[in-house]
Structures are given as C-alpha cells and as structure tokens.
Amino acid sequence: MGRIAYGLNFDEDPGDLSIELWFYKNQSLVKELGGKVKGEAYHLKNAIRILYVNTAKSQLVWHPWLNEMLGIWCDSNKENEGFATVWGSAACGKSHNFGLFTLVDWWSAPKDTCTFLCSTTKPMLEKRIWSDVKKYYTLYKDSLPGKISKARTAIINEDDDDSSDDVKAGIFGIAVMQGSVEDAKSNIIGVHLPYIRLLVDEMQATRRAAVEARSNLSKGTSDFRFFGLGNPMSKLDVLGEFSEPIEGWEAVNVTTGKWKTKYGMCYHFDGFNSPGTKNPSKYPFLITQKQIDKDIKDYGSDSRDVWTMCRGFVPPEGLQETVITESMLTKFKMREKVTWEGDFQTVAGLDPAFSSGGDRCILQVARVGRDDQGEMVIQFLPHIQIKLKLSADEPIIYQVAKDVTDYADKYGFDPEYLAVDDSGVQSVADVLDHEWKRGCIRVQFGGKPSDRPVSRLNRKNCREEYRNKVTELWYTIAEFARYSQIRGVSLEASKELTQRKVLATRPKQLQPKKEMKSEYGISPDIADAMACVIEVVRTKLGLHPGSNQQEAGMFGMSEDQLYRDFDIDADASIYTEDAVV
C-alpha cells in the first residue's frame, strides 16, 4: 500500500521513521518535486521523537536547549555555513545532544556518511560524547543499521570488514591528544563521502590539528559540517581562536547568545539561563540554581571556575594577576610581524629542559632592529624545540650544545648573542663555552634580580621589586610590549605568557613552572626562552623599553662595557667641574 507524506506520493509505506529521515536528508529534492518543505530541523526532531520520546524505549526529555542545539546542527537560520563552535556551562547538554544528533544523522544515510567524534583522550572520549552515541545506538542495535566495531572505537555498516583499514562510512571516535600531532591529523583526513561531519568535544583542550583537518575533509563532499564544543577558558586556546567575533572581542559579553566569526558562528549557552534553573525537577540533568549557588559559595562569584563552568564564557581579565594579559597582545600588536627598514641583529635564548622544572628544551631566535616606521623592535621567530635522545650514548648537554651550534650557523647568531638559563645542575653553557671558545650570556632564573631601575617611569631597584631574575625578565617583556616593541609572539607563547600567575607575595614572584604545569597542563618553556632573549637585548645591545635606539651603541659599546670601562654609575661628586687647562 502506498502513502502520501508531505505532499509526495510513495509507492510503498516505509514507516514513519524512514519518512522523517528521508525528508530530513532530501530537502532540496523535496522542493524540486513540489513537496512540502519543512526544513531539516523539523524532520530530525520528528525522527528523534519517534525513536526516543514517543516510544516504549523513551530515554529523552525534550527541553529548550535541546531544541536550540538541534537548530544549530541543521543551521536552521542559515547562518553558520557549516562551521559552529558551541560554548556552554557544565551540564548544558552539549556532548549529549550532539552525540544524539550524530547517530540519527548517520542513520539517515549510513552508506554515505562519515562522522568523526574527537576528544582529548580515549577515556574522555568514552566517558563523554561516545558514551551517548553508544547508549542511543544500543537501544536499536537489532533493528537499525550498523554494528559496534571490535577493532576500533566506531559504529560501522554491518557488511563492512571490521579488520580492514579501508572502512569509510561510519561514526569514528578519535583521541586527538594521543600520539603525535601528525598522527592526530592523519587519523581524520582522507575520507571523501557525500556527507562528512567533524565534531571536536572539549575543544578548549584539544590540538589544533583536529580542527585543521576540516580543510581536507570538506573537499569532494556535498555536505560538510563542523561542530566544536567546549567550556571556554581562554581566548587563546583552540576553542577561543576559532570563536573570535568577526567584530572583535569587545563586541561580545557574557549576555551575548551568538555571534558571527571568521569561520561561521559561535553559540553561547549561559548556565544562569539554564532551563534547569527554572524547573529543576523537570530538568535535573541540566545545571541548576542550587549547583550554581554552591560553586559561587565555594569559589567566589567572579572566580574562573564560575565563569567557565557556570556561565560558559571566557573569564574576564583581572581575576588573577599575570604579567601579560590577552588584551595586551592585541593592543600592543605583539603577535604581528615586522617589515624591516634595513638590517637587524640576530639574537637567541635557550631554556634547557632540565633547568627550573621545565619539560621542553626550547631555543628562541629573535631579530632586533628598526621596522619600516623607524622604531626599534624585537621580533621573535617561531621557537625551536630541541629533541633530546635519552637513549643516546652522547650526554644530553652535549646533544643540546651540538644542536644549538648548528642553529647558530643556520640563523647567524654569535655565542655572545645567546643567553642560556644556567639554573640547572648540568650546564649547557659550560659546554657551549668550551666548543665555541667564547662565552655566552648566563642567566640564573632563580638568582637575584639586577640592580637596574624597574622601568623608565619606576626608578625603584629591581631587587626591591622582584624576588628572582626570571620575574624581572618577564616584567621587562611586558615593558617592551607597552612601548609596542615586541612582535612575532606565537599563539603557543601567548598562552604561556598570559596564564602564568604572579604569586601574592612581595617582592613579586612568578608562579613556579611545576605549579603552572600542574594547574594548566603546560610549562612556560617558550616564554622563558623569550626571557633569555630579553637579557641579550638589554645587556649586549643596550636596548631598553621605550628606547628608540641602542643607547650603549651610541658609544659603540655594550651596557656592560660602559659600566665597567667608564664607571657611568659612579657618584657625580667625584668629578670636577673646573675647566681643564
């Protein structure tokens, strides 16, 4: 027996679910055939209700945020152009809802759809979005397409060979923080079917490679969609980067529900407006007012935890003291490149992995000179991570020294224009001095600050203001930045510079590396190598924040030489004012 549905005749009745899934997937064809065009969201919602609401297998309570997120998946307002980031509080349903949409979307064309579900690690993947996909699939595993793969985290078609690497269609779970960056990207790219979906859960903590894979995946497909989900922590992490408003961050605030980005749209679900705050008995699975009140009591109304986990928005600056803020990066053009007026001096800083609690050996090369506006600037080049071979016969400090020597030849800097953090027990500086027969500049991050003035405006001695040398150097980076003399700061370095806290002590002191790594999962090795560069710039080139010339260079000598040979800091009373006859 045939059937008429939404203005179209069917020779046989495929059933309500098949009708809704077909109309969901074929809206353009429906319009072409003269049927009733209701929109994807209308039919996807009906299909979900048939499966999980109006059924004996009811597992779902429909709520306003589920409805809104379904509209985002279907781009009901034709605004996100297949790229959407979703900010939200904890327990706002992001992972659950998009996991549900993923499964039902795949059922609408299982042979022609490939969906990648990305999370940080396999345990987090299985705990969050994959668990929802698997739960909803299991309810219909005997009656709807697909089978759980035994060889990978996936749902594939029943006639696919589970042992083959050539399976294309399905829903695939990928832990993008495991293995190398190249592994993460290669696990995603290379599939070209009519329908491709890429979902990145916990996007604030994931690798950029997962998002970059969209460029490859979107080729050769008729319908590509990207969704990035997360609890926003910073404008500089991957979620923040791809959610930046096209009109700038100043155009949005915690009450803004959505905004246009360079890539598509960002949608914001504020926990303060959760349906669970209005009707906790009906929506106990969503964040409730009781939970919000407890977090405010435990952490404070303006804490980072409340902003990220309750309001689902990036915490404003000033909640904790840092040397450099995210707004400084933009205001003082710290991430921009330089057009040089003429020649420049190449300098470098080295932060060995085994000093001061770091975990990467970073060589930071920089160029110092006048830009096309005639201003003296410091441009940081992309940092170099020196790979250490623990199993090699050659001691680590000699491995590092050899690589640094090779890079010195490549970039063109001399030993006296390299500063090394010499805080560790093993001294790379000793080996470099021996190999080069000339001394590099040694920096003791944990040692005493210098006796220089804090800044041009603050003449207080650095030893009074800062507890150690590394704190002095970080604040000097900030001083150079305020005079718009810092350029080329990478995104990774930006995160380090803006997240390392200043402890509530006097004199001022930076958060130790180990504490920062424990709190944020990153060690500020790149930023510390940049701090070494600043020591070269000050002591060797005689350039200071706010200065538009190499002040010591006016005499053809470094600052150290001026102090030593001309005694320029001596008391003025020892000099005569009488005419020399």
Which residue type occupies 274? S
User: Mean pLDDT of all residues in the chain?
Assistant: 90
Distance (Å, rounded) from C-alpha 282 to C-alpha 270?
19
Q: In the predicted model, what is the mean pLDDT of residues 338-361? A: 85
Question: What separation in angstroms does the CA of 192 have from each of 214, 223, 400?
Answer: 11, 11, 43
**283 contacts: CB under 8 Å, gap ≥ 6:** 61, 63, 274, 275, 276
Q: In the predicted model, what is the mean pLDDT of residues 117-134? A: 94
**167 contacts: CB under 8 Å, gap ≥ 6:** 154, 156, 160, 161
CB 146 within 8 A of CB 157: yes
List the CATH code of the domain at 326-548.
3.30.420.240
Ordered by start, the domain boundaries in the chain are 39-310, 326-548
Distance (Å, rounded) from C-alpha 130 to C-alpha 152?
12
CB 497 within 8 A of CB 520: no
Q: How confident is the model at residue 1 (pLDDT cuts 50, 70, 90)?
A: confident
Q: What is the pLDDT of residues 416-452, one digit of tens each?
A: 999 999 987 568 999 998 888 888 999 999 999 999 9
- Asked if residue 571 has pLDDT above 50, the reply is no
Q: In the predicted model, what is the mean pLDDT of residues 175-193? A: 65
- Asked if residue 205 has pLDDT above 70, the reply is yes
Q: Which two tokens stand for residue 452?
A: 């220089």
Q: Which two tokens stand for residue 299?
A: 């952490």
Q: What is the pLDDT of residues 237-285, one digit of tens each?
A: 999 999 999 999 999 999 999 999 999 999 999 999 999 999 999 999 9
Number of H helices, E strands in the chain: 23, 20
CATH of 39-310, one of 3.40.50.300, 3.30.70.3400, 3.50.50.60, 3.30.1490.480: 3.40.50.300
Distance (Å, rounded) from C-alpha 400 to C-alpha 127?
41
Task: Name the maximum alpha-carbon separation found in the chain.
Answer: 123
Q: In the predicted model, what is the mean pLDDT of residues 149-157? A: 95
Closest CA to 525 of 432, 449, 423: 423
Lowest-confidence pick of 207-216, 397-406, 476-485? 207-216
At 581 the pLDDT is 39
CB 404 within 8 A of CB 350: yes
CB 239 within 8 A of CB 204: yes
Give the rounded percent of residues in the chain with a pLDDT score beyond 70: 91
Which residue type occupies 77? N
CB 490 within 8 A of CB 498: no
User: What's this model's pTM, rounded to 2 decimal places?
Assistant: 0.80
Lowest-confidence pick of 59-63, 94-98, 377-381? 59-63
At 567 the pLDDT is 47
Q: Which two tokens stand for residue 405?
A: 């020597």
Burial class of 571 by CB neighbour count within 10 A (0 to 12, 13 to 18, 19+): exposed
Question: Kind of pairing, strands 361-371 and 384-386?
Answer: antiparallel
Q: In the predicted model, what is the mean pLDDT of residues 211-230? A: 91
HSE (CB half, 13 Å, CA atoms) of 358?
Answer: 23
Q: How confident is the model at residue 184 (pLDDT cuts 50, 70, 90)?
A: low
Closest CA to 138 of 148, 125, 126, 127: 148
Q: What is the pLDDT of residues 486-522, one digit of tens each?
A: 999 999 999 999 999 999 899 999 999 989 988 887 8
At 15 the pLDDT is 96
Q: Which two tokens stand for residue 100?
A: 């549900």
At 464 the pLDDT is 94
Give the phi and the psi of residue 109 in degrees, each rounded to 5: -160, 65
- Asked if residue 182 has pLDDT above 70, the reply is no
